[in-house]
Amino acid sequence: MNTMDNNNYTESVRKYYEMIIKVLNTVYHPGDSEKSIAKILGMTGEFINASRVYIFEIYDEEGTTSNTYEWCAEGITPQIDELQNIPESGFDEWWRIMREDTIFVADDIKTLPPFMYEFFKYQHIYSIITLPLYIDNNMVGFIGFDECKRYRSWSNHEIEILRALSTLVENLLVARNAKRKEVATQRFMAKKSLELIEMKEHMLEMLAALIEFRDLESGYHVKRTKFLVDQLINEMLNIPRFFTELHELDYEKIINAAPMHDIGKIAIPDSILLKPGKLTESEFEIVKKHTTIGAEIMDRILGGFDDVYYRHCREICLYHHERWDGTGYPTGRKGKDIPLSARIISVTDVYDALVSKRPYKEPFDHDVALKIIKDGSGTQFDPDIVNAFLRLESWEI
**Per-residue pLDDT tens digits for 348-369:** 999 999 998 887 788 999 999 9
The enclosing H or E element of 141 equals strand 138-147
15 versus 360: the higher-pLDDT residue is: 360
Q: What is the pLDDT of residue 59?
A: 84
CA atoms within 13 A on the CB side of 33: 15
Q: What is the pLDDT of residue 288?
A: 95
Give the model's confidence band at 181: pLDDT under 50 very low, under 70 low, under 90 confident, else very high.
low
Say if CB 300 and CB 314 are below 8 A apart: no
180 C-beta neighbours (distance < 10 Å), count: 11
Q: What is the pLDDT of residue 22?
A: 64
Percent of the chain, pLDDT > 90? 43
Q: What is the pLDDT of residue 209?
A: 59
Q: What is the pLDDT of residue 174?
A: 79
Average pLDDT over residues 295-314: 80
Q: What is the pLDDT of residue 4?
A: 43
The CA distance from 256 to 295, in Å, is 16
pLDDT digits 0-9 by tens, 219-235: 577 778 889 999 999 99
Cis peptide before 383 (omega within 30 of 0): no
Beta carbons within 8 Å of 192's beta carbon, 6+ residues apart: 171, 174, 175
Which of the residue ranges 111-120, 193-202, 278-287, 328-337 would you say has the lowest mean pLDDT?
A: 193-202
Tell me the average pLDDT of the chain.
Answer: 83
The CA distance from 104 to 218, in Å, is 28
pLDDT digits 0-9 by tens, 365-395: 999 999 999 999 999 999 999 999 999 977 6
Give the model's confidence band at 20: pLDDT under 50 very low, under 70 low, under 90 confident, else very high.
low
Which range of 115-119, 213-217, 297-301 scores highest in mean pLDDT? It is 115-119
Give the model's confidence band at 396: pLDDT under 50 very low, under 70 low, under 90 confident, else very high.
low
pLDDT digits 0-9 by tens, 60-109: 777 788 999 999 999 999 999 999 988 877 677 777 777 776 788 999 99
Percent of the chain, pLDDT > 70? 79
Query: Is the model's pLDDT at 283 over the cut of 60?
Result: yes
Q: What is the pLDDT of residue 16?
A: 60
The CA distance from 200 to 23, in Å, is 10
**Mind listing the domains of the chain with CATH numbers?**
31-184 (3.30.450.40), 218-390 (1.10.3210.10)
The CA distance from 323 to 333, in Å, is 7
351 versus 192: the higher-pLDDT residue is: 351
Residue 282 φ/ψ, nearest 5 degrees = -70, -35
Average pLDDT over residues 150-179: 81
The CA distance from 133 to 141, in Å, is 5
- The model's pTM is 0.57
Say if CB 243 and CB 392 are below 8 A apart: no
189 versus 69: the higher-pLDDT residue is: 69
* Closest alpha carbon to 52 in 33, 38, 71: 71
Q: What is the pLDDT of residue 40?
A: 83
Beta carbons within 8 Å of 282's beta carbon, 6+ residues apart: none
Which of the residue ranges 160-169, 180-189, 238-247 would you say has the lowest mean pLDDT?
A: 180-189
Query: Is the model's pLDDT at 125 over the cut of 90?
Result: yes
Pairing of strands 127-135, 104-106: antiparallel
Query: Is the model's pLDDT at 52 over the cut of 80?
Result: yes
Q: What is the pLDDT of residue 169?
A: 84
Give the model's confidence band at 3: pLDDT under 50 very low, under 70 low, under 90 confident, else very high.
very low
Q: What is the pLDDT of residue 215?
A: 54
The CA distance from 232 to 347, in Å, is 9
The CA distance from 193 to 307, in Å, is 11
199 versus 34: the higher-pLDDT residue is: 34
9 versus 354: the higher-pLDDT residue is: 354
Query: Is the model's pLDDT at 10 over the cut of 80?
Result: no
Burial class (CB in 10 A: 0-12, 13-18, 19+), 136: exposed
